[in-house]
Amino acid sequence: MHNKICSLLLAAVLPVSLHAQLSVETSGMTILSGTTLSADQLVLVPSSDLTLTSTVLTRTATPVVGTSGATSIGRVFNFSSPVVYNGNAGFFYNISELGTNTEALMQVAFTSAAPGSTWTQWTTTTGSTVNTGSSFISQDFAGTTLGRVTSTSSALPLPLHLLAFNAEKGKGRTAVLNWTVTEEGFVPVYQLERSRDGRTFELIGAQKGIGNGTQQYAFTDISPAEGNNYYRLLLTDENGGRTYSNVSVLQFSRADAASVAPNPFDQSFVVSAPDAALVGTKAVLTDLSGKVIRQVTLSSNAVQVNTAGLASGLYVLTFENGTAIKMIKK
């Protein structure tokens, strides 16, 4: 049964020196609407009943550093399990914690990610109330998920939160890189890198982010190397900060590649596609000038192409994944 909290320490009489820590076990605790909860100098006055379960509130003195070089004050509150909050939230601070922040211009900043999350985007609010006399700042929230809370007089556009990054084989001999991000508050640039040994990476492509909320992205590597291919995602933020994702590995064997035989050919040739992912794709036969001679649909793993009447010379068979095979007609 939840404990019903009807009355706790009032913010108006909370001594600045109090450093309590809130720890709620699995049994849970409910803070009734309009009740004031003060813990470790963080003050919550929910406008609707707030239930906390298995939650620990901690505080750190390490400022949050934004990509713009701005920092928060040296007071950051952390919920071990982010909470969806309605009501007023504020906290007391010490003048010595301001750093380079201008006290009168401070705003509450928050992220919905839990402590320890990577690629976390912070949101700097507007309309916060600062009482410079009592060194107290507060902000109204409506249905906002709070994971960490602090204050700053400058925006804190930190790297966003990466939910997942993985590589998988696509159609043809390709590698499809997928990633999902949330809290994409600024427009990032994503760079895709590949390595043969897992240590030395090279850039294989880049994609500009959308810059709005939760997004899913995909990038296709049309020419993976034979053997192991190590992939990772590099986020370069608006000020040159670099953050890497996990590494995902794909292996391609020589059998993954399509082939043609015979080559040189005469009246026909056979396109072999050992990789089942190639089935259903198309290849284009062109001459040296780039003129399309024929389109070949790979309806199975082995397709015979009749070339009777085709003039002798050099041709190129190009697959959808960009692979090109030079061919000679006798």
Yes or no: say if 140 and 51 are a contact pair by the CB < 8 Å rule. no
Query: Are residues 143 and 13 both part of a single domain?
Result: yes
Position 91 confidence tier, pLDDT thresholds 50, 70, 90: very high
Tell me if 57 sits within 8 A of 85, measured CB to CB. Answer: no
| Together in a domain, 124 and 47 | yes
Same domain, 137 and 172: no
Whether residues 208 and 168 share a domain: the answer is yes
- The pair of structure tokens assigned to 162 is 């990466």
Domain's final residue, options 206, 224, 252: 252
CATH code for position 136: 2.60.220
Q: Are residues 28 and 59 in the same domain?
A: yes
140, 170: one domain? no
| pLDDT reported for residue 279 | 76
Domain count across the chain: 3
pTM > 0.85: yes or no: no
| Same domain flag for 93 and 48 | yes
Pair (146, 165) in one structural domain: no
pLDDT score for 157: 57
pLDDT in tens, 3-57: 333 333 333 333 333 333 555 556 678 889 999 988 889 999 999 999 888 888 9
From its phi and psi, is residue 71 left (phi > 0), alpha (psi between -120 and 50) or beta?
beta
Give CA–CA dist 267/262, Å, rounded: 10
**Nearest residue to 274 (alpha-carbon basis) of 251, 291, 243, 253:** 253
- Of the candidates 62, 9, 64, the residue with the CA atom closest to the CA atom of residue 40: 9
Residue 180: domain span: 161-252
Which residue among 252, 287, 310 closes a domain?
A: 252
Query: Do residue 47 and residue 73 come from a single domain?
Result: yes
Q: What is the pLDDT of residues 130-166, one digit of tens each?
A: 999 999 999 999 999 899 999 999 766 554 567 788 9
